[in-house]
């Protein structure tokens, strides 16, 4: 039997719900042969992510915490593809390693899975052409699937006190693509189909909404999400980049410290449920040492 204290800790931490949801998606995709990823590749991703997490924890003298590494491994398994195991293992190691190596104000700057994907995409476009690619097409545009994924994502982001991020991101992006459709005289079925894409929903509810790589204050968080949507739109429709989502988040993570510099909100810790709205204050944030989770 699970004691009451342990049960409360399990139910309180939103990472458990995210791991469960992403695991179910990965299991469905592999068992139904929807995803083009082998068991060896999945094993390699998880091994590299957990090994890097363990090594980073050991070198920084902090407790080994596997849950965030598992989320990174699941996200990479769902969104990134390669012809061999090694590029995916490298992506997992880079993503998790970035939490320990690139930090500011006591937080890691980049979303680990997104950092891994963007790094491999850049390598694929430069030094090693075609070594890796993303998988937006595998998700399709079925409305029922998008609604199911969004429902699960809303629950997870609510538990993580970040449900405002995907709603603002998707809302801003929807306004932009519907305005574009009006300007061009396109039928609304085109932007509607775009919003039903499973990859977009997965990104909005399970990547950009990561509590550790979004601003802590609600006002800064809203500006961050809306700006990410604008950058995504520009990259997708003006630069015709099919991976604009991932590049946009990487860009926003780089500039996120500017949103947080005068943000008085306390750092998020896993299990927090309340993050009140506070007006920005002209007071620099002092660095705090928080373990990479």
> 147-157, pLDDT tens digit by residue?
778 888 888 88
Q: How many CB atoms lie within 10 A of CB 182?
A: 11
Quick check: 292 pLDDT over 70? Answer: no
Q: What is the pLDDT of residues 154-201, one digit of tens each?
A: 888 877 778 899 999 999 999 999 999 999 999 999 999 888 888 898
The enclosing H or E element of 81 equals: strand 80-82
Q: Greater confidence, 277 or 164?
A: 164
- Cα–Cα distance between 293 and 45 in angstroms, integer? 18
Quick check: 266 pLDDT over 70? Answer: no
Q: pLDDT confidence of 234, banded at 50, 70, 90?
A: very high
pLDDT at 160: 78
Of 173, 276, 156, 151, which Cα lies nearest the Cα of 232?
A: 173
Quick check: 251 pLDDT over 80? Answer: yes
Half-sphere exposure of 192 (CA within 13 A, CB side): 6
Q: Greater confidence, 225 or 284?
A: 225
Q: Are 171 and 164 in contact (CB under 8 A)?
A: no
pLDDT at 283: 46
- Cα–Cα distance between 259 and 130 in angstroms, integer? 35
- Cα–Cα distance between 76 and 249 in angstroms, integer? 15
CA 224 remoteness from chain centre: 14
Q: pLDDT confidence of 228, banded at 50, 70, 90?
A: very high
pLDDT at 6: 55
pLDDT at 143: 66
- What average pLDDT does range 34-54 have in this prediction? 93
Quick check: 281 pLDDT over 50? Answer: no
Strand partners, 132: 82
Q: How would you label 259-283 residue by residue, b for 16+ Cβ within 10 Å and e otherwise?
A: bbeebebeebebebeebeeeeeeee
Q: How many CB atoms lie within 10 A of CB 12?
A: 13
pLDDT at 161: 77
* Phi then psi dihedrals of residue 32, to 5 deg: -90, 5
pLDDT at 236: 94
Q: What is the pLDDT of residues 90-101, one digit of tens each?
A: 999 999 999 999
- Cα–Cα distance between 266 and 269 in angstroms, integer? 9
pLDDT at 276: 41
pLDDT at 125: 92
What pTM did the predictor assign?
0.86
- Cα–Cα distance between 291 and 275 in angstroms, integer? 20
pLDDT at 225: 95
Q: pLDDT confidence of 280, banded at 50, 70, 90?
A: very low
Q: How far apart, in Å, are the Cα atoms of 187 and each of 26, 79, 182, 236?
A: 34, 29, 8, 19
Quick check: 286 pLDDT over 60? Answer: no
pLDDT at 149: 80
Q: How many CB atoms lie within 10 A of CB 115?
A: 26
pLDDT at 14: 83
- Cα–Cα distance between 188 and 184 in angstroms, integer? 11
Q: Greater confidence, 149 or 67?
A: 67
pLDDT at 250: 96
Q: Greater confidence, 287 or 65?
A: 65
pLDDT at 275: 45
| Selection from 147-161, 210-224, 229-243 with the highest mean pLDDT | 229-243
């Amino acid at each position: 039997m699970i004691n009451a204290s342990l049960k409360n800790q399990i139910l309180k931490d939103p990472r458990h719900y995210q791991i469960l949801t992403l695991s179910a998606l990965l299991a469905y995709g592999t068992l139904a042969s929807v995803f083009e990823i082998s068991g060896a590749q999945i094993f390699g991703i998880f091994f590299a992510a957990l090994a890097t997490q363990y090594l980073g924890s050991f070198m920084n003298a902090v407790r080994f915490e596997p849950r965030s590494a598992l989320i990174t491994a699941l996200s990479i398994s769902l969104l990134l593809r390669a012809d061999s195991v090694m590029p995916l293992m490298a992506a997992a190691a880079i993503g998790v390693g970035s939490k320990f190596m690139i930090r500011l104000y006591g937080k890691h700057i980049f979303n680990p899975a997104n950092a891994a994907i963007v790094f491999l995409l850049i390598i694929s476009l430069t030094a090693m052409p075609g070594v890796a690619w993303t998988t937006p097409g595998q998700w399709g545009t079925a409305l029922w699937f998008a609604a199911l994924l969004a429902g699960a994502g809303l629950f997870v982001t609510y538990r993580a006190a970040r449900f405002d991020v995907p709603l603002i991101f998707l809302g801003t992006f929807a306004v932009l693509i519907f305005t574009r459709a009006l300007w061009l005289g396109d039928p609304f079925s085109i932007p509607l189909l775009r919003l039903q894409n499973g990859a977009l929903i997965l990104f909005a509810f399970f990547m950009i909404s990561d509590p550790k790589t979004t601003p802590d204050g609600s006002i800064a968080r809203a500006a961050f999400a809306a700006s990410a949507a604008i950058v995504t739109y520009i990259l997708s429709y003006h630069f015709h980049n099919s991976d604009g989502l991932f590049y946009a988040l990487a860009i926003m993570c780089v500039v996120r410290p500017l949103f947080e510099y005068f943000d008085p909100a306390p750092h998020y810790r896993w299990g927090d449920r309340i993050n009140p709205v506070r007006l920005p204050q002209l007071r620099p944030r002092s660095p705090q040492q928080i373990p990479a989770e």
